[in-house]
Amino acid sequence: EHTLDTAFFIRWLTTAAQAVEREADRLTELDSAIGDADHGSNLQRGFRAVTAALAQEPPGSPGAVLALAGKRLISTVGGASGPLYGTLLRRTGKALGDAPEVSPAQLAEALRVGVAAVAQLGGAKAGDKTMLDALEPAVGALGASYATFAEAAGAAGDGALATVPLQARKGRASYLGERSIGHQDPGATSSALLITALADAAGA
C-alpha cells in the first residue's frame, strides 16, 4: 500500500469542509438542543478559512497541512470546538514532523497524540458526551492498513450515536445536567464527519 502525501492531507480537509457545508444545519440543530445553536456555523466559518488558507499558501508536507489548518481553526472559530479541533490538527501535524509522506500507521499514531492533546486541553474523557466519544474509538480502530480507516469512521459514527443516552459532563451541554440526556452531542457528530472524510479521502 502506498503512503499518504501532502495532496492526500489537503484532500482529507477539503472533503471534511464539504461535509461540514452539507451538515451545518444539522450540527447547529443538535447544538440548539443542548448548547447555543452555533456548532454548524462555527465549523462552517472555520473550515471555509482552512480551505482558503490551503489554496492560498499550499503547505509542503502533511504535517504543515495539519498545522496550518489547526491554526486557522483556532483563529476563526470562537466556540469551544475551535481550540479543541485546532489542537487536534496542530498536535497531530507536529507528531508527523516534516516528512513528505507518511504511512497509515504513522498517521494513526500521530492522531492518537492529537486526541490525547484534546483530552488534556478540555479535561474531558470518554463518556463525558463530547467529541472524544467519537475520536477515541476512532483512533482506537486506526491501524496500519487503509481498511482500518473505514473501521475508524464506523467507530466514530457509533460513538456519536452512543452519546444520546449520556449526561454531558463538559462544555455548555453540562449546564443542562440531566436535561442533556436524550440528545446526540454536536461535537461527537462533527468528529464522525471528520473521520469519515479521512476514510473517503483514502478511498477506504
Report the interface residues with ligand ADP, using CB under 6 A.
Answer: 31, 35-36, 38-39, 42, 79-81, 84, 122-124, 130-132, 170-172, 185-188
Pick from ligand ADP, Mg ion, none: which does 132 bind, CB < 5 to 8 A by kind? ligand ADP
**Which residue number is nearest to ligand ADP in terms of Cβ?**
187
How far apart are alpha carbons 203 and 184 in whole angstroms?
28
CB-side exposure of 53: number of CA atoms within 13 Å?
21
Q: Which is nearer to Mg ion, 51 or 81 (CB)?
A: 81
**Residue 5 β-bridge partners:** 101
Residues in the chain: 204
Check binding of 200 to Mg ion (CB under 5 A): no
**Contact 173/179 with Cβ under 8 angstroms?**
no
- Rounded Cα distance between 129 and 175, Å, is 12
In angstroms, give the least distance from the CB of 137 to ligand ADP. 14
Distances (CA, A) of 181 to 44, 111, 130: 26, 29, 13
The reply on whether position 175 binds Mg ion by CB under 5 A is: no
**3-state class of 101 per DSSP?**
strand
Q: Which is nearer to ligand ADP, 16 or 102 (CB)?
A: 16
Distance in Å, CB of 190 to Mg ion, minimum: 11
31 binds Mg ion (CB under 5 A): yes
Of residues 27 and 156, the one with the C-beta less far from Mg ion: 27
* E-only strand ranges, 14-168: 101-102
Piece of 9-17, 65-73, 78-86, 134-142 that binds Mg ion (CB under 5 A): 78-86
Contact 127/183 with Cβ under 8 angstroms?
Answer: no
Can you give the binding site for Mg ion, defined by CB under 5 A? Answer: 31, 35-36, 38-39, 79
